[in-house]
Structures are given as structure tokens and as C-alpha cells.
């Protein structure tokens, strides 16, 4: 979310492969940070797949002039950065051309610079043991406090909350953003949110979200899917994939980088089947490499793994690709409306 502040500065050092120079590759993950994605354990997976010295940072100011080598951008930001020549035009580089072909990689939005190396999802989830007889089946159940009593945990942001509010009316997924672009759609969304306003804890970062679940303060929660994945051992959660909002994680190479060759090597490695497999299997990222999804489905324990993978075919059956062009275009208006609505008494 736009105003989430999650301080993260992780440095991880690995033995370098062969004669690769000892340049440090810096990756800015502001986009994932802004959306509440829990980055705390990502260092473990990156350390297992990289052969370079890597530094992760979630600083969100002036990311291009600070010469980060790789930057995470949402689809709308990637379009602008590409047009402004702030990131390298990867589509013109032979080694990257296959990454832009839909038959090889999942992608909703396409530009000539950013590569969608993985996805995560904003989802609704619930503690399994709280739902003994009846379990939620759709976004409508998030707003049904009679069938599913108890408090809810929702992100303190319009991103996700407005989409689920409209889905609860039975609006087709391909019409959600069209309707949200009208005053009628906005009023419908806030009217639905009114029904659970006094039943909601609004979280600002994932630490708050985890605490609400661990302290058994909520019966349903909404947030990044990997938060619920991380809670499995002590607080088993079931994810409601129906109505998931899929978020593309575009990575672009900063035109101001002084380590362009190494950044290209790292990005190509992240897109490989072996790396994507580890990102999915160890960290529950949604792989975009179509071959990886086939590989995962062949595992003996495939069911246990794929139940947490956003881009698994079954989980994608009623998914919405989060439309950042819509959010970027209307963010000032929507944020103002949301803050005004939040400030009103329950």
C-alpha cells in the first residue's frame, strides 16, 4: 500500500562464481514493500539461488539516482520508467527476448523494459480451526458477519478493499475496474465496507496483521498471501483464492547502474526454471515461468506446495490482476475518499 512503512535493509553475501567480479548488486524492493508484502525471509531464498553479492533495500525515495542496480516497479511505474529511459530496454537484448513471450512467461501487462519475475497476491484468508463446519467461499463472505461472525483484519488502504467490496455484489471480475471508475461503483464499494466497518481492525504493516492473527483477534483477514503462508506452523491458515488480486513484480535494470552486466546475469537467473522453482517451493512466490508450473505439478507433494502458489492454474480460476494503471491514475482521488470514509464514525 502507498503509505505502508516497512523498514528493511538486508545484506547477504555469497561466494562468487568463477571469475565474476566482486561488484555488489543492489535491488530496490520498494514496490513490494508498499503493498505490504512481507520481505523478511526473502534473503534465505535469494542466497540459495544467487552467486553474487546482493543487497536488498526498501528505500522509497529517488530510487533511480541512488543507482540501485535492479528496481521493483508495478506495471504502471514500469511503463513510465521505460518511457523516461530510466530503466534498460531489455526487449532489445537477445538474451531477454524470450522472457517477453507470453507462451513462455505469465504476464498481464507488457512493456519493453520490466520483466515480471514473480507474482504475489492480495487474498482473503482465515484460521482453519475457526471454520469447523462452514468455510468462506467468496469475497461476499468477508462481509457476512452473521454467517461468519468475529472481527476482520483489512489493509488500511483502498487497494484490495474496494475490489473485494464490489466482488461481494457478484460483479464479474472483468467489470470491477470499469465500475470502480464511476461514482456509482465507488459508492457501492464504500456502502459495502460500511457493513463491516465496526467489525474491522485496519492494519498498516504486516507486523500488525500477524499479531492480530497470532493473538486470535480476527476470524477473517486480508493481506499478502505470503503472510498467511509464513503463519502455517503455529497458526494454520486457509487461503481463499476465489477473488485473489494478483500483483506482478516487475524488475527493471536502472539505467544509472554501474553493474549492468551483473544485473542482467542476476535477472536472467531469477527467471530460470531452477530459480523460479526455489522461489515458489521455498517462499511461495507465484512463478511466471510456465515450465516451472509444470515442474511443480509433477512433485509427489505437489498438492501441499501448489495450495500456496498464486499462479497455479486452479488458484487463478477467478483471479483479478491488480490494475495499477487504474490505481496510479486515480490514487489521489481514491486515497482522499478512503481517508475521509475512514475518519467517519462507525
Taking alpha carbons only, the member of 285, 250, 251 closest to residue 41 is 285
Give all strands (DSSP E) within 216-285, no chain letters: 220-224, 237-253
Is the pLDDT score of 3 beyond 50?
no
Range name among 60-64, 291-295, 338-342 with the lowest pLDDT average? 60-64
Give the total residue count for the chain: 346
**Which of the pair, 65 or 259, is modelled with greater confidence?**
259
Identify whether the C-beta of residue 284 lies closer than 8 Å to the C-beta of residue 241: no
Region of residue 20 (left: phi > 0; alpha: psi -120 to 50; beta: else): beta
pLDDT, residue 47, reads 65
- Interatomic CA distance for residues 278 and 173, integer angstroms: 31
CA dihedral angle for residue 145, residue 147, residue 148, residue 149, rounded to 10 degrees: 50
- The helix (run of H) or strand (run of E) holding residue 313 is none
The reply to whether domains 9-119+247-308 and 120-245+317-343 share a CATH topology is yes
pLDDT > 70? residue 193 = yes
Domain positions in the chain are 9-119+247-308, 120-245+317-343
Please give the share of the chain, as a percent, with pLDDT higher than 70.
Answer: 86
Q: Are strands 70-73 and 152-155 parallel, antiparallel or unpaired?
A: unpaired
Give 214-249 pLDDT, tens digit per residue.
Answer: 999 999 999 999 889 888 888 889 999 999 999 888
Give the predicted TM-score (pTM) of the model: 0.85
Q: What is the CATH number of domain 120-245+317-343?
A: 3.40.190.10
Contact 99, 196 (CB under 8 A): no
Residues 29 and 183 sit within 8 Å (Cβ to Cβ): no
Residues 6+ apart with CB under 8 A from 206: 6, 36, 37, 38, 223, 224, 227
What mean pLDDT value characterizes the chain? 84
pLDDT band at residue 41 using 50, 70 and 90 as cut-offs? low
Do residues 44 and 13 make contact, with C-beta atoms less than 8 angstroms apart?
A: no
Q: Given the DSSP bridges, would you call strands 237-253 and 220-224 parallel, antiparallel or unpaired?
A: unpaired
Assign domain 9-119+247-308 to a CATH class: alpha beta
d(CA 116, CA 248): 6
Amino acid at each position: 500500500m502507498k503509505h505502508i512503512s516497512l523498514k528493511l535493509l538486508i545484506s547477504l553475501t555469497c561466494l562468487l562464481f568463477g571469475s565474476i567480479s566482486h561488484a555488489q548488486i543492489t535491488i530496490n524492493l520498494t514496490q513490494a514493500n508498499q503493498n505490504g508484502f512481507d520481505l523478511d525471509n526473502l534473503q534465505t531464498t535469494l542466497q540459495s539461488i544467487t552467486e553474487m553479492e546482493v543487497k536488498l533495500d526498501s528505500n522509497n525515495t529517488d530510487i533511480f539516482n541512488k543507482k540501485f542496480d535492479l528496481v521493483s516497479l508495478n506495471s504502471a511505474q514500469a511503463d513510465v520508467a521505460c518511457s523516461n529511459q530510466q530503466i534498460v530496454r531489455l526487449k532489445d537484448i537477445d538474451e531477454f527476448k524470450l522472457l517477453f513471450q507470453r507462451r513462455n512467461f505469465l504476464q498481464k501487462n507488457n512493456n519493453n523494459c520490466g520483466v515480471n519475475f514473480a507474482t504475489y497476491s492480495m487474498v482473503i484468508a482465515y484460521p482453519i480451526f475457526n471454520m469447523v463446519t462452514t468455510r468462506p467461499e467468496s469475497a461476499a463472505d468477508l462481509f457476512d458477519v452473521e454467517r461468519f461472525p468475529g472481527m476482520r483484519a483489512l489493509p488500511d488502504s483502498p487497494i484490495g478493499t474496494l475490489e473485494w467490496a464490489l466482488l461481494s455484489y457478484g460483479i464479474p471480475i472483468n467489470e470491477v475496474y470499469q465500475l470502480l471508475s464511476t461514482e456509482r461503483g465507488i459508492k457501492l464499494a464504500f456502502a459495502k465496507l460500511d457493513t463491516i466497518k465496526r467489525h474491522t481492525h485496519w492494519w498498516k504493516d504486516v507486523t500488525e496483521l500477524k499479531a492480530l492473527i497470532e493473538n486470535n483477534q480476527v476470524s477473517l483477514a486480508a493481506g499478502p498471501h505470503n503472510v498467511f503462508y509464513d503463519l502455517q506452523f503455529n497458526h494454520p491458515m486457509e487461503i481463499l483464492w476465489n477473488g485473489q488480486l494478483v500483483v506482478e513484480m516487475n524488475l527493471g535494470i536502472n539505467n544509472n547502474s554501474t553493474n549492468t552486466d551483473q544485473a542482467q546475469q542476476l535477472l536472467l537467473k531469477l527467471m530460470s526454471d531452477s530459480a523460479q522453482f526455489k522461489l515458489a517451493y521455498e517462499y511461495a512466490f507465484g512463478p511466471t515461468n510456465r515450465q516451472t508450473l509444470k515442474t511443480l505439478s509433477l512433485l509427489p507433494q505437489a498438492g501441499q506446495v501448489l495450495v500456496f502458489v498464486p499462479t497455479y492454474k486452479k488458484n487463478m480460476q477467478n483471479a483479478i490482476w491488480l490494475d495499477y494503471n487504474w490505481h496510479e491514475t486515480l490514487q489521489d482521488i481514491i486515497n482522499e475518499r478512503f481517508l475521509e470514509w475512514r475518519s467517519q464514525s462507525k
